[in-house]
Amino acid sequence: MDIVLEARHIDKYFTKPVEFHVLKDINLEVKKGEFTSVMGKSGCGKSTLLYILSTMDTDYKGELFLNGELTTGLDSNRLAHIRNKYIGFVFQFHYLLSEFSVLENVMLPAKKLGEKSVEEIKEDAMLKLKMLEIDNLAMKRANRISGGEKQRVAIARALINDPLILMGDEPTGNLDSQNAENVFRIFKKLSDEQGLSLLVVTHDIDFADKTDRIILMGDGTILD
């Protein structure tokens, strides 16, 4: 299987408030279509690792490859484009633009990418919303829908550019068990049916147990 994401010898230090070695020589691969979860205690560095893998945090040592291409050391505009095109994000908080409609929120990253016409993007967005069973909310304003629905809109937004990999930072952390179950089902379906790679940081053991692979972290290293 193809390797979508590869990290080699990642080291990361925090300098504030005191110098602290957060990540120690991390080596990691995510294969295409693999549903991976990262687990570990609070403060073990799992989220820090995720943000490095996401290219948002560039302050680290080591090398990071996305789809076989070295992303370490690229300038911020190039990285922004890579995130836009190849990586989808779902966070604990939904981060929707509250003044915009659900549809516009979903369309935004695709408009930025600018590879398709607005009409095509709209069609794609409606398709994603339909897949997540929230197409009836398309015209509602983003701050007028429920928490579970918001998270599903955020997933639709993450998928709009058909990314190589979907990254999640506690995507079910703020949801009740039913909604969490729902989100998991969606992820699983994406992984199985569309061959999407997923890398999800989570506290939820039930969630992690159902994924293809669990990466367990402790004290800045991968334990297992």
Binding site for other proteins (CB under 8 A): 47, 51, 54, 56-57, 76-77, 80-85, 89, 91-93, 95-97, 99-100, 108-109, 111-114, 118, 157-158, 169
Bin 43: left if φ > 0, else alpha if -120 < ψ < 50, else beta. Answer: left
Q: What angle do CA 199, 20, 201 make, to 5 degrees?
A: 15
d(CA 78, CA 159): 20
Shortest distance in whole angstroms from residue 132 CB to other proteins: 17
Pick the closer one to other proteins by CB: 37 or 54.
54
Looking at residue 33, the DSSP 8-state letter turns out to be: T
Quote the least distance from Cβ 158 to other proteins, whole Å. Answer: 8
Interatomic CA distance for residues 70 and 169, integer angstroms: 23
Contact 211, 37 (CB under 8 A): yes
Please state the closest distance from residue 210 (CB atom) to other proteins, in A: 25
Q: Which CB atom, from 1 or from 118, has the smaller least distance to other proteins?
A: 118
Q: Which of 175/210 has CB closer to other proteins? A: 175
Q: CB of 56: closest distance to other proteins in angstroms?
A: 5
Nearer to other proteins, 65 or 95 (CB): 95
Q: How many CB atoms lie within 10 A of CB 20?
A: 13
Nearest Cα to Cα of residue 37 among 193, 157, 207: 207
Distance in Å, CB of 63 to other proteins, minimum = 19
Cβ closest to other proteins, residue 76 vs residue 136: 76
User: Given the structure tokens 């937004």, which residue do they identify?
Assistant: 157
